[in-house]
Structure 1
Amino acid sequence: MTRAGNPGSGSGWPEALCAPVRQLPSAPRLRVALSGGMDSVLLLHVVATLHTDSGRLSAVHVNHQLQPNADRTEQFCQQLCRELGVPLEVRRVVINGREDGASGGVEEAARTARYNVFEEVLTSGELLLMAHHGDDQAETVLFRLLRGTGVAGLGGMPRSRSLGDGMLYRPLLGFSRNELEAWAVAKGISWVEDPSNTDERFDRNFLRQSIMPLLKTRWPSLVNRVAHSARSCREGDELAGKLAEIRFQQCATDQGAISVDALGQLVEVEQKNLIRWWIIRNRYTPPSIADWPQVIEDLVRAPADREPELRGNGYVVRRYQGNLYLVGESMALPSVKLTLAPGQERVWGEWRLRLVAVANPEMPVPDIRISTRAGGERLRPAPDGPSKSLKNWLQEKNIPPWERARLPLLLEVKDGHEEVVGAGDLWLSDKYCGAAPTSGWRIVVERECN
């Protein structure tokens, strides 16, 4: 890995401002998120001065097409990058959202679209620089506090985190907006103001325009105080994560589920911490739940004949035979049976299936169909053993009900009769598996795990 750029002298920029930019992690390429506002324009100037290696620096501008001056801002960014000799990539996005400042409104939709673009443009190892500063951090923490977030949210924005195939980095978090603006004005830098920043229908703007200035009159060091509290919350969240990892090792089954009995031995706060950590570990967002004690009570202590669930965005936590399973949102299944032909990969939900000739190409091609259970199917797990009801066999294998309903069955059709020769990645007849399948053909079944 080569360093992101060749740090220059700084050309009159304060050393305090240059230091975090000089100390950026090694990366093959730097990209600056350029909005056209003061902070991102200042960041681009400093980065362009300090990291001078040709071809290692570029900028990304996302045009949300929401404001009357959106096109003028885009043109400003293009002109600025031409003057600095920095390549610019412009992405236009279409935003759908409410404009009344409510949660999930246009602000959140714009943010989601913006970060989707950043994920798309970043390639392996690249570093995206964002110009968030101390005032942004204070607003974020206060905003999340008012929304009732937990310790993780009160930790604010991290200085760095993974994003797509690259990393996001915020080198200006240690400075206030006033400090950055004073440096920008002193250097005669121009920028574009976003007219929506004064619209107090939006919660963040209300905090920025009306609440933060009032708080600063009473507590001038507000930004530093909030930053200290955010760091403490992040440390607390890290410790909670370490504890959850230890508890998971104690409670997890070989399949990655959580034993309800083991979970029940923990105190309530550890139970909640473990479940939240487990969800986050699998790259999902924990649901916002006001009554966690009731959720834990249902998952751990509901009668055995009940099927309690915890639903989130794109996943559900389910209980089955004494264990909790984290089940991701399933891919759609085909609505009709599929034929498995040589040289053709078939996709069945999260499974991929192929029919491969093993040795003699003259062997007749079997008629293999893929389907879900219709009821009444039987299979012969051992070549010389008795046949068994597929339903009973799946129960013996402790396959959860939601898995049984999606399992691709492999049916060999002969003389109008269908014989079960495979059940997903759980079992295949020796006619179609092993070193020398008796049919001369091998069925390959692979599953993409959550």
Structure 2
Amino acid sequence: MSLPAFDSLLQPDAALVVAFSGGLDSTVLLHQLWRWQQQHPQSRLRALHVHHGLSPNADRWAAHCVALCQQWQLSCEVLRVTVDGSNSGVEAAARTARYQALSASLQPGEVLLTAQHLDDQCETFLLALKRGSGPAGLAAMPHARALGAHRLLRPLLHHSRQSLEQYARHWQLAWIEDESNQDLRYDRNFLRQRLLPELCQRWPHFAEATARSAALCREQEQLLDELLADQLAALIQPDGSLHFPPLLTMSEARANALLRRWIAAQGGVMPSRDALNRIRDEVMASREDAQPQLRLGAAEVRRYRQRLYWLPPLSSLRGIQLAWPDLRQPLVLPHHSGVLFASQAQSLLRYPRPDEQVSVRFHIQGRVHLAGRTGSREVKKVWQELQVPPWQRERLPLIFYNQTLIGSPGLFITGDGAAGDGEGWQAVWQPASGTGEQQ
């Protein structure tokens, strides 16, 4: 087996990272890239090994990977993750944890390379067929895709496992064998150990034919992407939500195609047809005064003011109260809610008096008197006027002086909190997503 066409995939000064499990596939890929790097000394290459902690041999595998990289004078970082398979199963949970860890460990400009090969592509296609997937699922794995701000490449997808074994034997490479690969309780192992050998014995080019079918499905999906791009862009709002009423007047096929692409844009897993029907019937078509929510895997679909929102499960912060004793220091909010800063950019809030303690809470009730308004308003009416969805109303930071509400960054200031003509400060909230709202 010769080197893949790395020169057509990579820049001579590329910064490369290999997802290195220590198995045959990733060992071959790392060795090939190590050889390629020797021909392109301006490039950089390192390895990341994900330690799932699922096998009693996991520590030994990590040590093997580090030792082999030391032999090739490459850096190898071990990433330890926790796998919770209670919701989606161990296979899916391990894959999610692995890619999250790999993505988080990439440095600016780096390209991640993984070692999936032709046989893996065939298995992925058959698993999608088993699930009843449409063209998007049957497209299987692309050779290249975005991974956050980085690129993910799979340069071995045209190469069979047999050719990888021949390469490894030629170069006398050592690799580890994961004992879980023999466990037929896992669907992929059942295909690999039982079904695919029979299919390939009957039809020797079955894997190549399956890969061609996946490529054709990918072409059809790419064509649909192009045809629906303008319409989808018109429906997606600046905050990522989807203006859904037009979907209710479309054909089911067109509406479902748009829904799938919106969910993919939110980073969601491709939903089944049944899941799409439930979004339409239980969320979009529910009565106007309802607050529907539908759990799909690790996410929730919610509706507010004719928009759909794709959200991670959100916990209420209703009972939490945080002291902010020193406004010169940022305040980290709980449950990945972001950070609060005190800025002097604008004099919006009055400074607290010596007898007033600054705190942050996430729940108010009763009535609120907003600065510049006559009289007070019910809290519910304030949230509605500000178009704050119900699930956010117990997660937004509220500034208090003792027991007096002062304001909420980027949303409102109360009559008790306005700086008026005097000196003041500005509360700046930076949510965990990295987008800031200011007051």
> TM-score under structure 1 normalisation?
0.79
**What residue is the counterpart of 2:390 in the other structure?**
401
Which whole-Å deviations, capped at 9, do the CAs of 1:18-56 have from their partners, x for residues lacking one? Answer: 242333323642233333333333223322222112882
Question: Relative to structure 1, is the Cα distance of residues 213 and 318 closer, same or farther in structure 2, using a 3 angstrom cutoff?
Answer: same
**What residue is the counterpart of 1:444 in the other structure?**
427
Higher-Rg member (1/2): 1
| Secondary structure at the counterpart of residue 221 of structure 2 | helix
Unpaired segments ≥5 residues, structure 1? 1-13
**What residue is the counterpart of 2:367 in the other structure?**
377
Match of 1:60 among 48, 56, 74: 48
The answer on 1:162 being equivalent to 2:150 is no
Question: Relative to structure 1, is the Cα distance of residues 242 and 316 closer, same or farther in structure 2, using a 3 angstrom cutoff?
Answer: farther
Question: Relative to structure 1, is the Cα distance of residues 428 and 267 closer, same or farther in structure 2, using a 3 angstrom cutoff?
Answer: same
The answer on 1:47 being equivalent to 2:47 is no
Which whole-Å deviations, capped at 9, do the CAs of 1:245-303 have from their partners, x for residues lacking one? Answer: 32233334566543343222222222222223222212233554625334313333333
| Secondary structure at the counterpart of residue 257 of structure 2 | helix
Question: Relative to structure 1, is the Cα distance of residues 121 and 214 closer, same or farther in structure 2, using a 3 angstrom cutoff?
Answer: same
Q: What does 1:38-437 align with in structure 2 at a 5 Å threshold?
A: 38-52=24-38, 53=41, 56-64=44-52, 73-74=61-62, 76-91=64-79, 104-105=89-90, 107-163=91-147, 166-252=150-236, 256-288=240-272, 290=274, 292-330=276-314, 333=317, 335-341=319-325, 342-347=327-332, 350=337, 352-356=339-343, 365-366=352-353, 367=356, 368-382=358-372, 385-412=374-401, 418=404, 420-429=405-414, 437=420
Question: Relative to structure 1, is the Cα distance of residues 445 and 235 closer, same or farther in structure 2, using a 3 angstrom cutoff?
Answer: same
Question: Relative to structure 1, is the Cα distance of residues 223 and 237 closer, same or farther in structure 2, using a 3 angstrom cutoff?
Answer: same
| Secondary structure at the counterpart of residue 254 of structure 2 | helix
Would the aligned equivalents of 2:370 and 2:415 in 1 still touch at CA under 8 Å? Answer: no
1:66 CA drift (Å): 5.0
Distance in 1 between the 2:103 and 2:346 partners?
45
Question: Relative to structure 1, is the Cα distance of residues 103 and 204 closer, same or farther in structure 2, using a 3 angstrom cutoff?
Answer: farther
**What residue is the counterpart of 1:6 in the other structure?**
none
Distance in 1 between the 2:302 and 2:201 partners?
51
Question: Relative to structure 1, is the Cα distance of residues 447 and 316 closer, same or farther in structure 2, using a 3 angstrom cutoff?
Answer: farther
Distance in 1 between the 2:360 and 2:124 partners?
51
Would the aligned equivalents of 1:199 and 1:205 in 2 still touch at CA under 8 Å? Answer: yes
Would the aligned equivalents of 1:36 and 1:77 in 2 still touch at CA under 8 Å? Answer: yes
Q: Which amino acid aligns with 1:138?
A: C
Moved more, 66-75 or 271-280: 66-75
Distance in 1 between the 2:35 and 2:100 partners?
28
Would the aligned equivalents of 1:30 and 1:128 in 2 still touch at CA under 8 Å? Answer: yes
Distance in 1 between the 2:10 and 2:74 partners?
20
**What residue is the counterpart of 1:5 in the other structure?**
none
Distance in 2 between the 1:315 and 1:50 partners?
41
The percent identity for this pair of structures is 34
Which whole-Å deviations, capped at 9, do the CAs of 1:397-447 have from their partners, x for residues lacking one? Answer: 44333333444444455xxx83x44244222258866xx842411232325
Q: Which amino acid aligns with 2:8?
A: Q
Q: Which amino acid aligns with 2:379?
A: L
| Secondary structure at the counterpart of residue 171 of structure 1 | coil
Distance in 1 between the 2:362 and 2:262 partners?
30
1:226 CA drift (Å): 0.9
CA RMSD of aligned residues (A): 3.6
Would the aligned equivalents of 2:386 and 2:411 in 1 still touch at CA under 8 Å? Answer: no
Question: Relative to structure 1, is the Cα distance of residues 48 and 220 closer, same or farther in structure 2, using a 3 angstrom cutoff?
Answer: same
The answer on 1:23 being equivalent to 2:14 is no
Would the aligned equivalents of 1:353 and 1:446 in 2 still touch at CA under 8 Å? Answer: yes
Distance in 2 between the 1:252 and 1:55 partners?
39
Moved more, 402-411 or 206-215: 402-411
Moved more, 218-227 or 311-320: 311-320
Which whole-Å deviations, capped at 9, do the CAs of 1:151-196 have from their partners, x for residues lacking one? Answer: 3222112212334664332111111122232343344444444444
1:211 CA drift (Å): 0.8
Would the aligned equivalents of 2:22 and 2:176 in 1 still touch at CA under 8 Å? Answer: yes
> TM-score under structure 2 normalisation?
0.80
Question: Relative to structure 1, is the Cα distance of residues 231 and 280 closer, same or farther in structure 2, using a 3 angstrom cutoff?
Answer: same
Question: Relative to structure 1, is the Cα distance of residues 391 and 212 closer, same or farther in structure 2, using a 3 angstrom cutoff?
Answer: closer
